[in-house]
């Protein structure tokens, strides 16, 4: 039985902790905050509840596997999962609306044809066929297997973009794929929205980001009863059932090394905790000075970067129930400084004081650098949300605005990591799970296979496999 220290209590770190405990190891999690969940948070006030991190779950199979492998109770006995249908309503800048069904290729094609004109659905369907090729080429190396020692092959573009122009060159960014292959600004905006929702600017994201809409439209979107925070609660309880110990309000200053191997951690105040393995769920950029010292909490190494993206969430407490025909998720496409917002209206009694009120969250991806006026950003977000929620201003009781500053305070970094993407010479690949220092591994959204609930959960599975099986581990099967 090995002694394993886990730094941080995000979803990926807890997924690793539970699996390692089941394998017979003694696992202790040290979290600098007072609670678990990392970026999966809930804001509560006056009987209203709001997810301030992700609001929907994609690829629930990742967490089904976690619960199967770590106990007798399957995921569905611990949380309530409901498919969201329609998966999303899109409100385009010209006023056109379309409801896209959950995990139905034929239904999506028919809906796009009806809303955008004959041929629109076919072009989107043809695009998804090419996106599937990219998914099939990268699914295992980017999601289910440890990052290879030489990741350079993943830097090659896997999306079979259509060639155009005199020189017959393929598109290399997602934005160019949209303009060349979809040939309708609304279809291009639909594609762009998937990139923005994961924190990627489609103008710089590789064409391989086509796997994002493919993944959602193929495997579906799911809501967790009580909000996504309920998933974090369930994973935490599974860890406790497997005798994982948690120490909160414990800031890790550095990872200790002995004889060229990680041998424990040092906490603020000088306390030393010895370990045979260390799993760090802290943002990998915080290890930029080496494995020996973590960036002190409150310092963001990317604070001055102009290309970093984070999340702004506006929590809206509304009087009156939602109107007939309201949908769970609406994407409102913008034309101003914001590319758009996502409006979530879960019809969940657990998130409202009674049936005469409604809790609504509005989220947007924003740049984290440059001194943003967050009040102005929130006002623009609410103005866009009015196109999805009739009478919003008249129904508004109060609002709470959460910005990248809150993300920084809660997680140690203002940015929100996106999932790993192939192409672009490897610029969208996160850090490997295996660090240069033997005995130190990385789990969570800032390491392979990247951010997002499903990807973070897979990182925990990969780290546990690497520690338990060692060099023979070839990934999830």
For position 165, what pLDDT does the model report? 62
For position 299, what pLDDT does the model report? 34
| Residues contacting residue 136 through CB under 8 Å, at least 6 positions apart | none
Query: Of 466, 60, 229, 222, whose CA–CA distance to 237 is shortest?
Result: 229
Residue 317 neighbours by CB distance under 10 Å: 21
Q: In whole angstroms, what is the distance from residue 282 CA to residue 275 CA?
A: 17
| Chain position carrying tokens 């909000």 | 227
CA 46 to chain centre: 28
Mark the ranges of the chain whose per-residue pLDDT is less than 70. 165-168, 285-307, 370, 477
**CB 330, CB 343: distance < 8 Å:** yes
Q: What is the SS3 assignment for 214?
A: helix
- Burial state string for 85-105 with b = 16 or more CB within 10 A and e = fewer than 16: bbbbbbbbbeeeebbbbbbbe
Residue 365 neighbours by CB distance under 10 Å: 23
**CB 450, CB 211: distance < 8 Å:** no
Q: In whole angstroms, what is the distance from residue 228 CA to residue 440 CA?
A: 29
For position 167, what pLDDT does the model report? 54
For position 477, what pLDDT does the model report? 63
Q: In whole angstroms, what is the distance from residue 349 CA to residue 231 CA?
A: 17
pTM here is 0.93
User: Which one-letter DSSP state was computed for residue 299?
Assistant: -
Task: Report the DSSP pairing between strands 357-367 and 163-164.
Answer: unpaired
CATH 3.50.50.60 fits 3-41+227-299+417-472, yes or no: yes
* Phi, psi values for residue 284, rounded to 5°: -60, -30
**CB 428, CB 206: distance < 8 Å:** yes
**CB 9, CB 246: distance < 8 Å:** yes
Tokens of 95: 């006023």
DSSP-assigned states of every residue in 157-172: --S-PPEETTTTEEP-
Crossing angle of helices 185-197/120-139, nearest 10°? 30
Query: Of 330, 283, 321, 317, whose CA–CA distance to 302 is shortest?
Result: 283
Ordered by start, the domain boundaries in the chain are: 3-41+227-299+417-472, 113-216
For position 305, what pLDDT does the model report? 37
Residue 77's H or E segment, with its range, is helix 75-78
Q: What is the SS3 assignment for 30?
A: strand
For position 337, what pLDDT does the model report? 82
Tokens of 462: 């990969």
Residue 152 neighbours by CB distance under 10 Å: 10
Q: In whole angstroms, what is the distance from residue 313 CA to residue 49 CA?
A: 13
């Amino acid at each position: 039985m090995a002694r394993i220290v886990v730094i941080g209590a995000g979803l990926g770190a807890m997924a690793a902790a539970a699996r390692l405990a089941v394998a017979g190891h003694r696992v202790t999690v040290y979290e600098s905050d007072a609670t678990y969940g990392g970026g999966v948070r809930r804001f509560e006030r006056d009987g209203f509840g709001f997810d301030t991190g992700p609001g929907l779950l994609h690829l629930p199979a990742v967490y089904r596997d976690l619960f199967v492998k770590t106990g007798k109770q399957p995921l569905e006995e611990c949380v309530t999962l409901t498919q969201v249908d329609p998966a999303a309503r899109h409100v385009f800048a010209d006023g056109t609306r379309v409801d896209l069904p959950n995990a139905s290729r034929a239904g999506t094609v028919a809906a796009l044809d009806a809303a955008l004109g004959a041929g629109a659905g076919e072009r989107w369907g043809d695009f998804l066929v090419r996106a599937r090729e990219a998914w099939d080429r990268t699914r295992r190396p980017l999601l289910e297997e440890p990052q290879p020692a030489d990741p350079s092959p993943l830097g090659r573009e896997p999306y079979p973009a259509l060639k155009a122009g005199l020189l017959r060159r393929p598109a290399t960014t997602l934005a160019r794929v949209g303009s060349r292959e979809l040939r309708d600004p609304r279809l291009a905006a639909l594609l762009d929205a998937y990139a923005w929702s994961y924190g990627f600017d489609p103008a710089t994201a590789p064409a391989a980001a086509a796997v994002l809409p493919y993944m959602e439209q193929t495997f579906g979107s799911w809501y967790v009863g009580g909000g996504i925070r309920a998933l974090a609660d369930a994973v935490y309880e599974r860890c406790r059932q497997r005798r994982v110990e948690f120490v909160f309000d414990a800031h890790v200053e550095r990872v200790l090394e002995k004889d060229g191997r990680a041998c424990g951690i040092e906490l603020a105040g000088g306390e030393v905790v010895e370990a045979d393995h260390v799993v760090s769920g802290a943002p990998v950029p915080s290890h930029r000075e080496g494995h020996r010292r973590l960036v002190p909490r409150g310092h963001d190494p990317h604070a001055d970067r102009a290309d970093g993206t984070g999340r702004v969430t506006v929590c809206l407490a509304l009087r009156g129930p939602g109107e007939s025909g309201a949908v769970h998720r609406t994407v409102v496409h913008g034309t101003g400084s914001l590319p758009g917002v996502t409006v979530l209206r879960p019809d969940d009694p657990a998130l409202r004081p009674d049936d005469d009120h409604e809790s609504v969250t509005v989220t947007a991806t924003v740049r984290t650098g440059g001194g943003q006026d967050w009040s102005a950003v929130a006002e623009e977000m609410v103005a866009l949300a009015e196109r999805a929620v009739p009478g919003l201003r008249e129904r508004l009781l109060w609002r709470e605005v959460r910005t990248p500053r809150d993300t920084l305070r809660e997680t140690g970094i203002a940015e929100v990591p996106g999932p790993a993407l192939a192409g672009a010479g490897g610029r969208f690949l996160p850090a490997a799970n295996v660090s240069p220092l033997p005995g130190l591994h990385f789990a969570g959204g800032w390491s392979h296979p990247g951010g997002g609930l499903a990807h973070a959960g897979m990182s925990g599975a990969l780290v546990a496999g690497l520690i338990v099986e060692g060099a023979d581990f070839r990934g999830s099967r």
